Structure 1
Amino acid sequence: MATPATPAAVRTAGPLDGLRWERSGPRGPGDDLVARHLDLLGAVPGRGETERPAPAATGTSWHPEDVTAAAPREEGARLTLGGPEGEVTAVTSWGEGVVDEATAQAATGIMAVHGRRDGGPRGLAVDYAATATGVLAVQGLLAALLARARGDGRFTRVGVDARSAGLLTVSQYLAAAGAEEPEAAELAPGGPPFTSAEGTLFELETLDPGAWALFWRAVGADEEAIRRGWRPFQFRYATACAPLPDALHAAARATPWRRLREAADVSGAEVCALASTAGRAAEYDGAPPWTLTPGPPADPVRAEALGGALPLAGFTVLEAGRRIQAPLATHLLGLLGARVVRIEPPGGDPLRGMPPACSGVSARWLALNRGKEAVEVDIKSPAGQRRLRELAATADVFLHNWAPGRAARLGLDHEHLSAANPGLVYAYTSGWADRLPGAPMGTDFMVQARTGVGEAVRPADEPPAPSLMTLLDVLGGLLGAEAVLAGLLLRERTGSGVRVDSSLLGAADVLTEAARERAARGLDPRRPAGFRRPLRTADGWLAPAGGHGGLPDVRGLSTARAVERLRAERVPAVPVVADLSGLLAAGAIGRDAHGAPAVPTPWSFA
């Protein structure tokens, strides 16, 4: 077995030290994840909670034999945190009309987006909706405890359901589907990974069209194919598909892996062979998905006015982020009541103009940034750096996702900003968190490739392939917000500023935990053939609960009749949302001031 890349993180003071958690009620989505994260944050299990099961070997939230008897559960798992300041309870449930991971993915558009590369809905073989539900539940608990620590005891219960969590994970795709103009790139099957002459599956990454062209020229690809391939490749982060010219795949298949790596080195592009789940299990270092590093004792944290309608009312978050991971983290903090101020370059964030648009503003940009304030700062100039330090001096949180080392070069690292504001929670959402030496570029698809996600998300009868849905950017944003909330709570309890680090690598490890643990035990980490694959009907698709086969052929029935037939046999099933526009007409999705679709807030507080 390979030596872990780094040792597991050393346990330090946790924001939940002195608190106990207990679970009650039926099983719910993400409840084991909630328990594990509460442990990591310092809480201890109550009576009867010392032995918790490992992630389910089936990968479903129910055992297969229970599926036919399953029914929707309105009240799910209850995890209660108790301590000297009282109790706060999180309730996780599946949500209206869904009963497990398979039906949650079907009903919220996850199957539709993940399946774009394949030309039809496909289920993720990992528990994506349940994982998001668990992380959001921890966020809700931390937010409620944070409000309580500031003297606001109104928040004693937070509810999160997998249906709402699933909608949040596809919010950018929903926003684009409801925009006034069409997509900037074609929605059609196709995309990486590529295959070398020896059969090595690999991902390619570059943000530079020049590097893209140089790479493909170095392997002898056709110039017209190179030109036509850049746009779908560039927009795959937005569209979840990349219908590349066949000539590019053919050029890759004709080139040995050694030569492909040389072409990447010469061009400035990067390639990464798809790793296995077993390989990731062998090198896994046991580190949590985030780290909290308390700073030296500071002056008492500023007292904020209470009485806001949400737990983070009165907090100010300063964000210098681009793309998805960092903006989503602060978007969630804003939904919890914080004031969020974005640092944008002179002229504004260029992603505001990314098509498709609503009222002249990118629908995808709005999905992550609506409601935020914006300040234009040239952080490359000394004056801009001084301006950012001034803004950070009065903020509670500063969060960024700059390239590794950039903050230090600009004089905007933790040590620089905390000098002016010792109580600052300084948050960095990165790709690798410096945990894997020699790792490739820290973007979503490269992290998926390097960590075995491409294998874990697909059943055994499909070749490994990272999802073109931005799984890790979204989950990384959720974990980044969770880490910031933990840092704020630790600051409230200690009076010290905190450095918070989260990463896409941490998101990958959270998402693949069940598969990785199976691999570590010598078991097959992949789901069986056909796992969570929707069933074709005469007019659409349906997803049975449990995600397993052995069900009647329903291709001759309408979707509605097929659902009725399966339910008559005590197999819950739901129609698969194959076109996101159907969700926009269902009533759950609202519209913002620009007319862009807006998913509902995932928490309910009481």
Structure 2
Amino acid sequence: MATPAISAVGRTAGPLDGLRFEGSGPPGAADALVAEHLRLLGAQSHGASGGRFTVTGRDVGEVITGTSWGATATDEATAQAATGIMAVHGRRDGAPRGLAVDYAATATGVLAVQGLLAGLLAGLRGGRRIAQVEASAERAGLLTVSQYLAAAGAEEGEAAELSAGGPPFTSVDGTVFELETLDPGVWAAFWRALGAPEEAIRRGWRPFQFRYATACAPFPETLHQAVRASPWQRIRDAATSSGADVCPLRSLGDRAAEYDGAPPWQLTPHEATYAAARVPDDLPLAGFTVLEAGRRIQAPLATHLLGLLGAEVIRIEPPGGDPLRGMPPACSGISARWLALNRGKKAVEVDIKSPSDRKRLREMTADSDVFLHNWAPGKAAELGLDHDDLAPANRALVYAYTSGWAGRLADAPMGTDFMVQARTGVGEAVRPADEPPAPSLMTLLDVLGGLLGAEAVLAGLLLRERTGHGVRVDSSLLGAADVLTAPARARAAQGLDPRRPAGFRRPLRTADGWIALPDHSAIPHDLSGQSTDQALGRMRDHGLAAVPVVTDLADLLSAAPISRDAHGAPAVPTPWSFA
């Protein structure tokens, strides 16, 4: 009989049950998230809850986890500037722009918890004892832009133009909304229903399609004009008739009012049959096999992180291989972006439409530790590859589903990054009070969703190791949105203005570039007549730790600790330091 799922309320089992944690030292920006996740996973807090966290337990010994900003950054603003986050987020606007949410710190906190879980798991499995784990915001930031960095270091140019432009759209009666479709025929039908010119429809598809890769979508202005001339009801009718999805931008207050308090992942243990194997090795997940049936970013990034921790990752790809392998720009004939998420993985081609191939996949899961996918809702059950189909043959399986909505919103649109941003108030949270809300065209939630998916799998593996239970693991982009906007959503729930003040994290223009100041710094006088070096010197004279803003990601390829893989593609460093 299955055990009840772990949740924030009424939980019965957690991977950190019976463990305690205590903070020491000055608190950092990521500490609140680390402490909250440790509590959600079952650990009990004793003493201070900031700085470095010491986690102890009878069967696991002691592991310390902590975060740092890194070598150059001193806070969120300077971390975003130094790692290229401002550059990527600002592409739609044509200039670097800071995210008003603590994106680098959030990613760093999740990575710190991942490292802790991996360290505890390594100790239980008889591997190298890991006494200390650290995640830095600079390495976390590089990881979040790793696809864009890979493209900047490829042998050829981008597949689509990098220039200002993109959604959201605004109707004649003032509704601001996001549009989503993955089908060029649906795209064309939607715009024809609104009377857009055929040439603009044709020219607009490629930049719209590639906006996930380029973080901008410079499609023709006439498409914006077509929606600005149409009332919201007509736009909804066009979406319904064409098969496109449209979603009005919701506020943080809207999300706060409906928020159900659910944690960012759910762990559901099943029957206890797992017998732990001792695999001494330097990497915590050595000896584990992970099957991944993932596409795009969220699921492949989750398993990429598991692979960095030592797991053997096997991708389940369609006949002919993953079509995204050929997505330009390429290194040695393979997509640089694809390599950023999938280098080092093995691949097996499986036709999931074929009964014999589905049987072969079920046989593969029977010998695996983890099966992870991000298929559309209901697809796994339709294929006979859901948790209930696979667990009977492998009671020790950690079955992981990384979804868009986790089934938590009945009226949810398509569960893609920008639609989830629109529906959950992220578009409001990422912009300061003097800018109109707009979801970022940087794939904020796909990346953070992948980080949370890996964290959830590690929690499932640790729970299995400590209890003998196989586990179903669920994570989502909705969970990622809620984690990212938690501080702003809390302000909205209290009736306060959830947005950061005007000009917050806006970099300052110099004569030849941009600089970013720490969040607490007062904005100085106009710097546009000074060079970047002169402006930085002026800031240092005033005791301010300003940094230059990276505007060309190619500059990071030699300045940051980035290597090249066997294909010549840029590879960001492993985000954890273990000791």
Q: Which residue of structure 2 aligns with residue 341 of structure 1?
A: 314
4+ residue runs of structure 1 moved beyond 2 angstroms? 7-10, 547-550
In structure 2, C-alpha distance between the alignment counterparts of 1:553 and 1:262, rounded to whole Å: 49
Which aligned pairs between 1:166-565 and structure 2 lie closer than 5 A? 166-298=141-273, 300-301=274-275, 303-304=277-278, 306-546=279-519, 549-565=522-538
Aligned-partner Cα distance in 2 for 1:192–1:463:
12
In 2, Cα distance between the equivalents of 1:232 and 1:138? 37
Distance in 2 (CA, whole Å) between partners of 1:153 and 1:188 is 48
Q: Secondary structure at the match of 1:572?
A: coil
Q: Give SS of 1:585's match.
A: helix
Q: Indicate the residue corresponding to 1:164 in structure 2.
A: 139
Q: Take 1:117 and 1:587, find their aligned partners in 2: how far apart are those partners?
A: 25
Deviations 1:108-156 (A, max 9, x none): 0000000000000000000000000000000000000111111235111
1:233 and 1:78 mapped to 2: Cα distance?
A: 43
* 2: CA distance, partners of 1:38 / 1:380: 41
User: Structure 1 residue 79 and structure 2 residue 53: aligned?
Assistant: yes
Q: Name the CA distance, whole Å, in 1 between partners of 2:492 and 2:462.
A: 36
% identical aligned pairs: 75
- The DSSP-based 3-state class of the residue aligned with 1:422 is coil
Unaligned runs of 5+ in 1: 1-6, 53-76
Q: Distance in 2 between matches of 1:156 and 1:373?
A: 31
SS for the counterpart of 1:168 is: helix
Q: AA paired with 2:53? A: L
Q: Does structure 2 retain, via aligned residues, the 8 Å contact 1:537–1:558?
A: yes
Unaligned runs of 5+ in 2: 1-6
CA contact (8 A) 2:128 2:280 kept: no
Asked if residue 26 in structure 1 is aligned to residue 1 in structure 2, the reply is no
Superposition pairs of residues 33-48 of structure 1, within 5 angstroms: 33-48=33-48
In the aligned structure 1, how far is the partner of 2:96 from the partner of 2:520? Answer: 13
Q: CA deviation at 1:47?
A: 2.8
Offset at residue 549 of structure 1 (A): 4.5
Per the alignment, residue 4 of structure 1 pairs with: none
Deviation (angstroms), 1:9 = 5.6
Counterpart code for 1:494? T
1:59: which partner in 2? none
The separation in 2 between residues aligned to 1:224 and 1:83, in whole angstroms, is 65
Task: Find the residue that maps to 1:13 and give its secondary structure.
Answer: coil
Give 1:587 shift.
4.4
1:94 aligns with 2:69: yes
Find the residue that maps to 2:483 and give its secondary structure: helix
Q: What residue number does 1:580 align with? A: 553
Contact 1:531 1:549 in 2 (8 A): no
Q: What amino acid sits opposite 1:32 in the alignment?
A: A
Q: Distance in 2 between matches of 1:557 and 1:311?
A: 50
The 2-side partners of 1:565 and 1:228 are apart by 46
Distance 1:311 1:560 in 2: 44
Q: Could you tell me which residue of structure 2 aligns to residue 128 of structure 1? A: 103
Compute the RMSD of aligned alpha carbons: 1.2
| Partner Cα separation in structure 2 for residue 220 and residue 519 of structure 1 | 39
Q: Whole-Å Cα distance in 1 between the matches of residues 102 and 510 of structure 2?
A: 25
Q: Does the C-alpha gap of structure 1 residues 100 and 164 become closer, same or farther in structure 2, counting only changes over 3 Å? A: same
Give the alignment's TM-score, normalised by structure 1: 0.93
Matched residue, 2:3: none
Moved more, 348-357 or 309-318: 309-318
Cα separation, 2, equivalents of 1:16 and 1:153: 20
8 A contact 1:28–1:94 mirrored in 2: no
Question: Residue 547 and residue 576 in structure 1: after superposition, are their counterparts in 2 closer, same or farther (change >3 A)?
Answer: farther
SS at match of 1:487: helix
CA displacement, residues 196-223 of structure 1 (integer Å, 9 cap, x when unaligned): 0111100000000000000000011111
Rounded to whole Å, the distance in 1 between the matches of 2:480 and 2:410 is 18
* 1:39-63 deviation per Cα after TM superposition (whole angstroms, max 9, x unaligned): 00000001345xx8xxxxxxxxxxx
Instruction: Work out the CA distance in 1 between the residues paired with 2:29 and 2:53.
Output: 12
Q: Taking structure 2 as the reference length, what is the TM-score of the superposition?
A: 0.97
How many residues of Structure 1 are paired with residues of Structure 2 in the alignment? 572
| Rounded Cα–Cα distance in structure 2 between residues aligned with 1:547 and 1:386 | 58
Q: Secondary structure of the equivalent of 2:90?
A: helix
Q: Which residue of 1 aligns with 2:122?
A: 147
Deviation, 1:552, is 2.4
Tell me the SS of whatever aligns to 2:290. strand
What's the CA shift for 1:307?
Answer: 2.5
